[in-house]
Chain A
Amino acid sequence: GAGVSQSPSNKVTEKGKDVELRCDPISGHTALYWYRQSLGQGLEFLIYFQGNSAPDKSGLPSDRFSAERTGGSVSTLTIQRTQQEDSAVYLCASSTGLFIQETQYFGPGTRLLVL
């Protein structure tokens, strides 16, 4: 079946512009996660959703970052007024539930470059 998909695969933007990154989870997966992979910070957790609710937003690096999920499916990560330090690969993952034993399935990522 189809895995997690993300779009765009690559995004180049100018400093100060807003960007939207999209994630389509595996059908039926109720839990959705966003991570960021950068050279300086490695792989770090940003936010998770259970259904359309995001109980914990503490991983978001600043208030320029926001995320939403609609219909219990697609999620959008928005970065406002992008900065060069936002350049990274943004990864989305989904799983059948929030239990710590659950396997998270990752998408291919969106590579963001802020000039």
Chain B
Amino acid sequence: AQSVTQLDSHVSVSEGTPVLLRCNYSSSYSPSLFWYVQHPNKGLQLLLKYTSAATLVKGINGFEAEFKKSETSFHLTKPSAHMSDAAEYFCVVSGAYNQGGKLIFGQGTELSVKP
């Protein structure tokens, strides 16, 4: 069965410093992996996705993630945090091929950015 674990429930960084949000996945086949962001009282927005092409995936707003099969990880990074990055981030894995594309979400990581 597919599953995803976000290793930190809360991360706090200072503005201008790097961001690292950690995610490990479990899948019985080559998965699709996603990072979504949810700002307070807003809907989920796709940051980036991995679909078995390049292992280093670039997304919106300067975020990127690297798929590492040997480590079953898909960590999200950004070189320099901005105040507007404060939000909840979800690492997501696709369900099995016969499950109609359903998404399986991690528990989320709340990112705080200090001035």
Task: Write the residues of chain A forming the contact surface with B, with a CB cutoff of 8 angstroms.
Answer: 4, 31, 33, 35, 42-45, 48, 50, 55-56, 59, 91, 93, 95, 97-109
Contacts and interface: CB of A to CB of B under 8 A. Distances in A.
A91 B43 contact: yes
A48 B102 CA distance: 7
B101 A99 contact: yes
5 contacts: A31-B101, A45-B95, A45-B103, A95-B101, A104-B103
B101 A109 contact: no
Contacts of A101: 32, 49, 51-52, 94
Contact of B43 (A31, A48, A102, A108): A108
Nearest to B6: A42
A57 B36 CA distance: 24
Contacts, number: 66
Given A31-B100, A100-B94, A101-B49, A106 B105 contact: no
Contacts of A93: 44, 103
Nearest to A3: B43
Contact of B102 (A45, A103, A105): A45
A48 B104 contact: no
Contacts of A102: 101
A56 B100 contact: yes
- With most chain A CB atoms within 10 A of its CB, the pick from B44, B99, B104 is B44
A47 to B, nearest CB: 9
Given A44-B105, A109-B43, A103 B100 contact: no
